[in-house]
Amino acid sequence: MSISLMRNSYGKSRVRLVKVRRADGRHELTDIDVDIELEGDFDDAYTQGNNGKVLPTDTMKNTVYALAKGHPVEPIEDFGVLLAEHFLGSGHARRARIAIAEKVWSRIDAGGAPHRHAFLRAAGERRTAEISATAGEIAVVSGIADLLVLKTTGSAFSGFPRDAYTTLRETDDRILSTLMVARWRTATRDPAPTRTWESARCALLETFAEQHSLSVQHTIHALGTAVLAACPAVDELSLSLPNKHCLLVDLSPFGLSNDNEIFVPVDEPHGLIHATMKRGG
């Protein structure tokens, strides 16, 4: 029987790293997870058990720590490129993929000012970067993941088709909550990825808060438009918005009314809406 090994890759996942930079009593904190994946001349390891070209994944883990010691890890896009170029230089890798997720920490306010070395975690929100590199090309995708937002009004959903299985009521006033995931590409290498990330995040939050939403689809288009307007470097943007439902509780069995006050949050099932937007026609 003839069998072909069509494609293979290997690497290290969830390499945890916290780096503290200390200067004049003020500390800066970076908290990241790094995934590494290599493609290349590794067929013999699969077909013959020959590990002569297989860089140990434990070495990959150690490389993250060693390079973090000698180089900045912010912005994460640049650190990802550094790692990708390092692993491409190992001799047997043709493509290196690096995915970095940064947990977002902010300073705790103490005594009326941001504290110099105490931080607060912003829920599950993460800044993300994905780098794919070959000998002749580097592609970078930046983004935000798990940005949990909610507004108690300014959201509606009506005018949808109904069939024999439709039970959902139309509404012109509902809670809208979602866990935003945004990923974007720039036409050329972004010289200021942190500024772009901050501008994109601000545009997402302000637009979500201010827009009168007629549907999650309506909101996702407004969010994408706002990011592209606020971030000149961004050429293409993909958004994913799961609709984290808060359902109005029926209090009528208890002789009570419910004027959009008492809700039950429901994690599953939830709606999931995607869109990709690009500059130009």
Residue 132 main-chain phi, psi, to 5 deg = -120, 120
What are the CA-CA distances from residue 240 to residues 7, 122, 138, 191 (Å)? 29, 20, 25, 26
| Bridge partners, residue 106, by sequence | 120
How, if at all, do strands 10-23 and 271-278 pair?
Answer: unpaired
Instruction: Read off the amino acid at residue 269.
Output: P
174 and 216 Cβ atoms separated by less than 8 Å:
no
Please, are residues 72 and 96 in contact by the beta-carbon 8 Å criterion? no
**Residues 113, 130: contact at Cβ < 8 Å?**
no
Q: Number of helices and strands (H, E) in the chain?
A: 5, 10
261 in Cβ contact with 248 (< 8 Å):
no
Q: What Rg value do the Cα atoms of the chain yield, rounded?
A: 23
Name the residues annotated as catalytic. Answer: 12, 57, 245
